[in-house]
Amino acid sequence: MKPEIRRLRALIVEDSSDDAELIRLELRRNGFELETRRVEDRAGTQEALANCGWDIVLTDHAMPTFSAKGVIEVLSACDADIPCIVVSGAIGEEAAVDLLKSGAFDYVNKSRLNLLAPTVNRALREAEERRARRAAEEALRESEARFRLIAENARDLIAMTNMAGRYVYVSPSHATVLGYSEQALLATGPLELIHPEDRERFRQWRAMDHYELRMRDAGGEWRWVEGSTSLVMWQGEPHMVSISRDISSQKEMTERLKQLAYYDPLSGLPNRTLLRDRLRQALAHARRVGRSVGVMFVDFDNFKVLNDSLGHEFGDDVLQAGAHLILESVRDEDTVARLGGDEFVVVLPAIDAPEDAAKVAEKILARISQPFEVNGQGVALSASVGIALSNGTHFEIDDLLKHADLAMYLAKESGKGQYRFFTPAMDVEAVERLNLERDMRGALDKGEFVLHYQPQLDLDDLQVSGMEALVRWQHPKRGLIMPEVFIPLAEETGLIRALGELVLNEACRQTVTWQKSGIPIRRIAVNLSAKQLQVPTFVETVEAALDRSGLEPSCLELEITESATADTQEETIHMLRALKRLGVHLAIDDFGKGYSSLSYLKRLPMDALKVDRNFVSGLEGGGGGNEDAAILRAVVELGKNLQLRVVGEGIESEDQLDFLTGSGFDEGQGFLFSRPLPAREAGRLLRREPVWRAG
């Protein structure tokens, strides 16, 4: 077998150049590619060793000025791990052993030089092994140092726990994060520091990808810590390594965000989002167990007034107190949420009968109506409550909320401080109203509102004395809608202002058009809503309508319902007086319906009094002996006393007409003469005067 060629850098310490050559020959023969240098004294050896990276040193045992022993000394002094083989003549067992002891690798007899190459090989191999081992040790030391450095400087909490639940290692970060010294910790285990509620999971001896738990720090505070554990073998025993970090501030932040996302900042109660969440859960649960969920809308009745008069800060305090009162009235498992403003929702997660919800509503209403103090000021609240219940088929969150809201709204409308249950009939009304309201906004611009005119006749000669303008809504889909349907809605939504102005302008314009075309019309009556009188600039609106149309002010009569003047304040009286000064006439409409005090009536600058048509329709046959007849007679008397023109409305029969004429009514109006007519027909009617002739 051809020996493989290996490079060998050999330092030969030998006084005989022949012997050195023999060594070289022998090694070359064995496949070494040599690079050698021969030295023969200490200085040469030192100098040679200082410079080159030798693989091996081959030395004679004894030379004239140097020795193998000296070579070994030099070698160990220069701390180079270079094997040294003594190549010499016979030296005796004792000397050989001595050499080996002092550090020579081996001894080869010059007479058996064939042993040199195997010995060199062995020496090289062992040196290589030593080097590798050293490198490995070095690497290990380095990595240990590295890991220690990491562990010691990590902000994470690194710990190792034995099976007995004791710490066997804790990183110094424990001191900075939790405030415990290493010694203190090593005397305990993690379980002693973990919050009792979080202990269970940690007690299980297993690897965990992620855990979050609370640990008590040295100051006794609970800190949130998140981490993972893994199981390792160490010193033949399983240990648990945990790496964790303090997430208290993140937790706090998350909590705060959660609070913001799910709670109303003012009251601290759940907000709409959380309410829906709770309601969803309650509904799912109720469905499973066959019970009902009650949803209650609670809305303070007088809150807006209180807020406006006493200020928003005070209002906020009242809301907080009110929220507290509601909370006090319900059980722990019930949810009380605030939707904003003074609107609260209570969810009763499991009820069996409507009475259960009714009881809670009564309790809330009773609790709220007890006067309480806010900032030293006495407050009396009342609330309206609407209740909707889920049932076997009806579990929609939005419907429940909407229905409870609707029931609350109707409770409020029917008088305050009450509760009402939702009924399916309410929904129809509400949808209807909502649709109408939406349509109405567009209707104004589209000119869908038209005026019809109903004549008023002088009862003396049955001549037309004037016309009453009555508004209708020509709805593209629903056809003609009567004012009783949309006027209340317009009043609620504020659209009445625009609508009223439109009616006023159109009535004036039409009247002037008639007058200019030679149609004799002395008076146009226009109905006003109470809401219009509350607009401070209303007088200007009337003035503008007169100016624009050119209508004589005395031709315009404004009809104001009795109820609009009944709860009037001074402002309304001023307003009426200002209107009067414009020269327009004023009439009290629907008189008798509102039972206004007569002394009050005297203060109003009125021209006419229109008796509510229900008194007229209440007249029996031609008799006039009933109660309504008595009232009508009294009203006429009153009107005359106040020097008012007395007008009877809703005259449908000749008997009624006769009665009114006989009772002294000045004017009359009703289907008997004419229904309200569109402008064109009304114009025709005016031309053919007199319209109606008895007999």
CA angle 239, 240, 246 (to 5 degrees): 150
Using DSSP bridges, classify how beta strands 157-161 and 167-170 pair: parallel, antiparallel or unpaired.
Answer: antiparallel
- Least Cβ distance, residue 525 to ligand C2E (angstroms): 8
650 contacts ligand C2E (rule: CB under 6 A) = yes
Q: Which does 671 bind (CB under 5 to 8 A by kind): Ca ion, ligand C2E, none?
A: ligand C2E
Residue 618, Cβ density class (10 Å: 0-12 exposed, 13-18 middle, ≥19 buried):
middle
- Least Cβ distance, residue 547 to Ca ion (angstroms): 24
Cα–Cα distance for residue pair 556/546, rounded to 1 Å: 9
SS3 at position 173: helix
Nearer to ligand C2E by Cβ, of 19 and 649: the residue is 649
227 contacts ligand C2E (rule: CB under 6 A) = no
Cα–Cα distance for residue pair 126/105, rounded to 1 Å: 10
Residue 105 DSSP symbol: -
Residues 18-47 that bind ligand C2E (CB under 6 A): none
588 contacts ligand C2E (rule: CB under 6 A) = no
Segment holding 153, helix H or strand E: helix 116-153
Strand partners, 591: 611
Instruction: Please answer whether residues 523 and 533 qualify as being in contact, where contact means their C-beta atoms are separated by less than 8 angstroms.
Output: no
- Least Cβ distance, residue 527 to Ca ion (angstroms): 4
Residue 4 DSSP symbol: P
- Least Cβ distance, residue 660 to ligand C2E (angstroms): 12
Nearer to ligand C2E by Cβ, of 61 and 613: the residue is 613
586 contacts ligand C2E (rule: CB under 6 A) = no
Cα–Cα distance for residue pair 213/302, rounded to 1 Å: 48
Phi-psi region of 430 (alpha: psi -120 to 50; beta: other; left: phi over 0): alpha
Close Cβ partners of 264 (under 8 Å, ≥ 6 residues apart): 270, 271, 337, 338, 340
- Choices 143-151, 275-283, 665-673, 684-692 (CB under 6 A): range interacting with ligand C2E: 665-673
Nearer to ligand C2E by Cβ, of 234 and 671: the residue is 671
503 contacts ligand C2E (rule: CB under 6 A) = yes
Instruction: Please answer whether residues 395 and 361 qualify as being in contact, where contact means their C-beta atoms are separated by less than 8 angstroms.
Output: no
CA distances from 424 to 33, 343, 599, 632 (A): 108, 22, 45, 41
> Applying CB under 6 A, what is the total number of residues that bind ligand C2E?
24
Close Cβ partners of 629 (under 8 Å, ≥ 6 residues apart): 619, 620, 623, 659, 663
Cα–Cα distance for residue pair 170/151, rounded to 1 Å: 9
- Least Cβ distance, residue 333 to ligand C2E (angstroms): 50
- Least Cβ distance, residue 676 to Ca ion (angstroms): 10
Strand partners, 62: 67
532 contacts Ca ion (rule: CB under 5 A) = no
The only residue of 84, 676, 677, 683 in contact with ligand C2E, by rule CB under 6 A: 676
Nearer to Ca ion by Cβ, of 143 and 614: the residue is 614
Instruction: Give all strands (DSSP E) within 505-545, no chain letters.
Output: 524-528
Residues 648-687 that bind Ca ion (CB under 5 A): 649
Nearer to ligand C2E by Cβ, of 613 and 645: the residue is 613
- What binding mask, one character per residue, do residues 85-124 give for Ca ion by CB under 5 A, x or -? ----------------------------------------
Closest CA to 300 of 363, 414, 381: 381
- What binding mask, one character per residue, do residues 454-493 give for ligand C2E by CB under 6 A, x or -? x---------------xx----------xxx--x------
SS3 at position 35: strand
Which ranges in 447-495 belong to alpha helices (H)? Answer: 483-493
- Least Cβ distance, residue 471 to Ca ion (angstroms): 11
Comparing every residue's Cβ against Ca ion, the nearest one is 559
- Choices 163-171, 288-296, 365-373, 649-657 (CB under 6 A): range interacting with ligand C2E: 649-657
Q: Which does 384 bind (CB under 5 to 8 A by kind): Ca ion, ligand C2E, none?
A: none
The position carrying tokens 């611009």 is 445
Instruction: Please answer whether residues 103 and 89 qualify as being in contact, where contact means their C-beta atoms are separated by less than 8 angstroms.
Output: no
- Least Cβ distance, residue 390 to Ca ion (angstroms): 45
349 contacts ligand C2E (rule: CB under 6 A) = no
Segment holding 232, helix H or strand E: strand 222-234
Residues 538-577 that bind ligand C2E (CB under 6 A): 559
Instruction: Please answer whether residues 538 and 548 qualify as being in contact, where contact means their C-beta atoms are separated by less than 8 angstroms.
Output: no
Cα–Cα distance for residue pair 166/301, rounded to 1 Å: 64
The only residue of 439, 559, 666, 667 in contact with Ca ion, by rule CB under 5 A: 559
439 contacts Ca ion (rule: CB under 5 A) = no
Nearer to Ca ion by Cβ, of 19 and 649: the residue is 649
Residue 301 DSSP symbol: S
What b-and-e string marks burial along 88-100, b requiring 16 or more CB atoms within 10 Å of the CB? beebeeebbeebe
Residues in the chain: 695
- Choices 58-66, 73-81, 347-355, 645-653 (CB under 6 A): range interacting with ligand C2E: 645-653
Nearer to Ca ion by Cβ, of 299 and 649: the residue is 649
Residues 603-622 that bind ligand C2E (CB under 6 A): 613
Cα–Cα distance for residue pair 303/257, rounded to 1 Å: 30
187 contacts ligand C2E (rule: CB under 6 A) = no
651 contacts ligand C2E (rule: CB under 6 A) = yes
Close Cβ partners of 494 (under 8 Å, ≥ 6 residues apart): 531
The only residue of 529, 549, 572, 596 in contact with ligand C2E, by rule CB under 6 A: 529
- Least Cβ distance, residue 455 to ligand C2E (angstroms): 10
Phi, psi at residue 337, to the nearest 5°?
Answer: -120, 155
- What binding mask, one character per residue, do residues 566-605 give for Ca ion by CB under 5 A, x or -? -----------------------xx---------------
CA angle 623, 626, 628 (to 5 degrees): 110
Residue 655 CB coordination number (10 Å): 16
Q: Which does 652 bind (CB under 5 to 8 A by kind): Ca ion, ligand C2E, none?
A: ligand C2E
Q: Which does 335 bind (CB under 5 to 8 A by kind): Ca ion, ligand C2E, none?
A: none
- Choices 123-131, 302-310, 331-339, 643-651 (CB under 6 A): range interacting with ligand C2E: 643-651
Q: Which does 650 bind (CB under 5 to 8 A by kind): Ca ion, ligand C2E, none?
A: ligand C2E
CA distances from 139 to 82, 151, 626 (A): 21, 18, 120
18: tokens are: 């022949």
- Choices 1-9, 160-168, 181-189, 664-672 (CB under 6 A): range interacting with ligand C2E: 664-672
267 contacts ligand C2E (rule: CB under 6 A) = no
486: tokens are: 């949309």
The only residue of 670, 677, 679, 682 in contact with ligand C2E, by rule CB under 6 A: 670
Q: Which does 343 bind (CB under 5 to 8 A by kind): Ca ion, ligand C2E, none?
A: none
Residues 633-652 that bind Ca ion (CB under 5 A): 649
Q: Which residues bind ligand C2E (CB under 6 A)?
A: 454, 470-471, 482-484, 487, 500, 503, 527-529, 559, 589-590, 613, 649-652, 669-671, 676
Instruction: Report the interface residues with Ca ion, using CB under 5 A.
Output: 527, 559, 589-590, 649
